[in-house]
A and B are shown apart, each in its own frame.
Chain A
């Protein structure tokens, strides 16, 4: 379990990025942290693996205070996939990139090879084993970054803006993959602006504005609350917008899923005909 207790954080420039954030992340949770630019989303998740330490308050990961341990030690449990893969990749080949963390964590050579192959296969990167990560496309680099984290099987996986630069097919693969990870009892935390992606995943949503959490709950409740989403400078999913517009016809206003919407409409049409 990760506990964030009344955390305040100010950057050296004096910018206050977090103002009293409290959050409990249970094992096996799937959370989407959403909000406008500069709301403090990335700052918050960087506290979860100790990259940033709170100015006030504390973050506790599995009973260990992040202030009292190093990022490297926390990393064994908390895997962090950076927003920009270029910030995360620095080795000469994809294989070395995926093996980098395993060597740091003291995995033996045989186990390292096995895990590297597993991660490369999982993310469809086996063909690029000896390629430089910098020669790959944006989407492929993102997958290498993800493989390099999943290889050591962290308990908590944090994905910062995972859908940026991904086409529909890749997004769909990513969604399936995240759901699969979550089904394997992994705690998945994503930071995203992509409201359609969140609507399709239907996780617990934490909405942030100006360094504070303004809402925390089911995606269906939060993404259909016009006042809340406006406060966080995001728009409801398109299907929700349609249903909100048709509220006068007596249609439900808490729809975020296209398949659910289809069912509602079919039922309604069958009833009227």
Chain B
């Protein structure tokens, strides 16, 4: 779950942290669009290095690297899926282009993780919400977006706690046979619903607490969404 640490905002004073969230949001959107525009490896490698100066200026190198490290697992799946599907689609014939395209698509994912990691590491969800509101983005969207951003690390923490509890009761998730470990990561049918119950309870209790904290607008949004 360390990947989520690379997306969690921490209040630090730096030129990047103090930058208007709209500027940073605009920057990641541009990077996102450019990354989608290219399928070749070279431009994507160049794009990967674009956030680096911002990472150093913000002093978040360690957290940024952590997010990249956490993305390796998904990146491997993307690479393997692409390579295998291209191999099958080409009639079981290997080619260098096939390999390059698979690497390029994997790199696109890493570029997106790298760009969004800097954004979330240096932008408070509150400031982002206010900035979006000021930009006349509908309030419903701002509220849903900031709540979702806040909730991701909470869910990751819950998942980590449940895994810790299972490891502490003898479930092997760290060593031994790879397939067995993968199997152990998949919860048994009897434990799966309960594994999700705590995060779900939290997501349910949050809107119910809103009226107590005089957040009537948010509460009415929640009520209208469940009607």
Contacts and interface: CB of A to CB of B under 8 A. Distances in A.
Nearest to A89: B194
Interface stretch (B37-45, B78-86, B166-174, B213-221): B166-174
B190 A91 contact: yes
| Secondary structure dominating the interface of B | helix
B162 interface: yes
Interface in A133-160: 133-134, 148-149, 152
Contact of B5 (A12, A76, A100, A132): A12
B190 A92 contact: yes
Size range of the chain B interface in the assembly: 20 to 34
A100 B127 CA distance: 45
A134 B194 contact: yes
A82 interface: yes
Interface of B: 2, 5, 10, 62-63, 66, 161-162, 164-176, 187, 190-191, 193-195, 197-198
A124 interface: no
Contacts of B194: 89-92, 132-134
Interface residue range, chain A: 20 to 34
A152 B170 contact: yes
Interface in A64-80: 69-73, 75-76, 79-80
A75 B170 contact: yes
Contact of A87 (B161, B173, B174): B161
B169 A87 contact: no
Contacts, number: 85
A72 B167 contact: yes
Given A87-B161, A90-B165, A90-B194, A13 B10 contact: yes
A49 B172 contact: no
B58 to A, nearest CB: 14
Contact of B169 (A12, A69, A101, A134): A101
A75 B167 contact: yes
Contacts of A87: 161-162, 164-165, 198
B2 A100 contact: no
Interface string A13-25: 1100000000000
Contacts of A76: 170
B190 A80 contact: no
A86 interface: yes
Nearest to A84: B161
The 7 lowest CB-CB distance pairs between A and B, nearest first, are: A104-B170, A101-B169, A71-B167, A70-B174, A72-B172, A90-B194, A70-B175
